[in-house]
Structure 1
Amino acid sequence: MMKRRTFGLGALATLAVAGCSSKFRTYNGPEVTSIVLNKGARRLYLLHGNEVLKSYKVALGFAPVGPKRVRGDGKTPEGTYVIDRRNPNSDFHLSVGISYPNRRDIELARAMGMDPGGDIFIHGQPNPGVKKGKGPDWTAGCIAVKNREIEEIYAMVRLGTPITIRA
């Protein structure tokens, strides 16, 4: 009787673990050579050369029209940056960092006597206990996608990948 029970519990544990999925995926397809965000269309594109590998609908900063100039303005930056960090422990499922602010962004903000801000990411949805902004564009200036989509992006995009953010 004990052997049968032990086997049953072991089988249940194996099934439970097999049913769990990791947020960390693997990707073996063509290299993502650039990323383009069209803010007006609310679309993010992962490209290999001129070929679109993936396209995603996004949410932006809570005041998305116009380029980001200062901390707290709710705008998503415009310009060319690079993916410069990865955060597996993000408050928003997973995230990849964008190199905002660049030298020009810093100079523009300083000319106004302001801080340009920072911590701009492509990220998933908020983890439990993290407050989400209101409305269709709800981030503080980041680019938000669904959790399964940031899992793809996180697997596909490498550090140093250029990202162009257009109005």
Structure 2
Amino acid sequence: MTRVRVYKGQRMIVLDGPEGVLRTIPMGLGFAPEGHKQFEGDGRTPEGSYVIDRRNPESLFHLSIGISYPNEADIAYAKAQGRSPGGDIFIHGGPRPGIDPTNKRDWTAGCIAVSDREIEDIYAMVKNGTPIDIYS
């Protein structure tokens, strides 16, 4: 089974297979890339262990695969602060005009952005239920 590792500080996605690393892909992040996503609208990309839980072939950003954020701990923390944890975190393609995610620009609202060609490959390689670990 494929496994996904995301290294926010290195702006790198690593796709692992049973035999080791299959592919490394440069990426962009949310507009506030430091720290774990805590609240809706904070512009951060989550950190922690999640799973790929949905696919959107009709995404506004070419293609997208969903990340299971928020988990129970994320929800509990935000609720304790009287806030919403947010949601709809994806790996997607389709950067806005003039934005190149391989240039390490962080432009999403908390998602992980790659080129259209790269999301096509990820979409084909990563199935629902695939574990994804996101590190700072």
Q: Structure 1 length as normaliser, TM-score?
A: 0.75
CA positional deviation for 1:49: 3.7
- Say which of 120, 123, 129 aligns to 2:92: 123
In 2, the alpha carbon distance for the partners of 1:68 and 1:160 equals 21
Q: 4+ residue stretches of structure 1 with deviation over 6 A?
A: none
In 1, the alpha carbon distance for the partners of 2:128 and 2:34 equals 27
Q: Which residue pairs with 1:107 in the alignment?
A: 76
**How many residues end up aligned between the 2 structures?**
132
Q: State the secondary structure of the residue aligned to 1:35.
A: strand
Report the RMSD for the aligned CA atoms in angstroms: 1.7
CA contact (8 A) 1:85 1:97 kept: yes
Cα distance per residue 1:119-148 (max 9 Å; x no partner): 0000001478xxx7xx81000000000000
Q: Which residue pairs with 2:126 in the alignment?
A: 157
Taking a change above 3 Å as real, the CA distance of residues 138 and 48 of structure 1, as seen in their structure-2 partners, is same
Higher helix proportion, which one?
Answer: 1
The structure with higher relative contact order (CA 8 Å, sep 6+) is 2
Higher strand proportion, which one?
Answer: 2
CA contact (8 A) 2:32 2:106 kept: yes
CA positional deviation for 1:50: 6.2
| Greater Rg by CA | 1
Structure 2 gaps, min length 5: none
Structure 1 gaps, min length 5: 1-30
Taking a change above 3 Å as real, the CA distance of residues 39 and 50 of structure 1, as seen in their structure-2 partners, is farther
